[in-house]
């Protein structure tokens, strides 16, 4: 039965918490686009960067995130050739050109824009410890390094999205 047919429309989403676990371009951008869209709709948004997703907020790596060509079934021919040196850089460059045409900013600029919109950006403490990182390794927009339990506290009452 359609919930709207009897006047019981679903409640609007008021909060999303997005987990970013992949350090590839196609792993990071969906999370940034979803967080940006949420903020544009007035929805509270928090991003939780864990494992290789930390690359998106790591000062030394956030400008160098590439498309994962090896084992990426969506790239078809590039998957076959993905192990050849330079293919990942070439595919990343072409994708970046196409995104620029659509006015999609590069990761560092996008992260800054999302933080300025009021979204929270958090690094996973377990992953930070695992990789021997410190808060100095992250861009200034990172709100704080938190535990998974603290993330669940932030996410309470909202939707959790895993990218």
pLDDT in tens, 47-81: 999 999 999 999 999 988 776 655 555 555 555 45
Confidence of residue 24 (pLDDT cuts 50, 70, 90): confident
DSSP 58: B
pLDDT given for residue 81 in this prediction: 53
Domain range annotation of the chain: 15-63+106-162, 64-105
The closest alpha carbon to 79, from 66, 64, 68, 93, belongs to 68
DSSP string, 127-156: HHHHTT--GGGB-TT--EEE-HHHHHHHHT
pLDDT (average), residues 129-143: 97
The CATH T-level fold of domain 15-63+106-162 is Hypothetical Protein Ychn; Chain: A, (3.40.1260)
- Tokens 């009021």 sit at which residue? 118
pLDDT given for residue 119 in this prediction: 98
φ, ψ at 111 (rounded to 5°): -60, -45
| Beta bridge pairs of residue 49 | 20, 123
The answer to whether 55 touches 23, Cβ cutoff 8 Å, is yes
Q: 107-116 vs 25-40: helix axis angle to the nearest 10? A: 30
Instruction: Provide the terminal-to-terminal Cα distance of the chain, rounded to the nearest Å.
Output: 30
Quick: pLDDT tens for 91-125. 666 666 766 777 779 999 999 999 999 999 999 99
User: Which SS3 state, helix, strand or coil, does residue 123 take?
Assistant: strand
pLDDT given for residue 83 in this prediction: 56
């Amino acid at each position: 039965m359609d919930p709207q047919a009897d006047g019981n429309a679903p409640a609007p989403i008021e909060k999303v918490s997005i987990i970013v676990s992949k350090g590839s371009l196609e792993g990071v951008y969906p999370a940034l686009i979803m967080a940006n869209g949420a903020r544009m709709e007035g929805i509270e948004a928090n991003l939780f960067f864990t494992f290789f997703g930390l690359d998106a907020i790591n000062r030394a790596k956030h400008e160098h995130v590439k498309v994962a060509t090896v084992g990426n079934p969506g790239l078809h021919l590039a998957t076959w050739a993905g192990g050849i040196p330079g293919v990942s850089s070439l595919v990343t460059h072409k994708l970046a050109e196409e995104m620029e045409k659509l006015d999609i900013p590069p990761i560092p600029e996008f992260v800054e824009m999302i933080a300025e919109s009021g979204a929270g950006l958090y690094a996973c403490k377990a992953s930070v410890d695992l990789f021997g990182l410190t808060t100095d390794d992250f861009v200034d927009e990172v709100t704080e390094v938190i535990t998974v339990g603290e993330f669940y506290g932030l996410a309470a009452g909202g939707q959790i999205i895993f990218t």
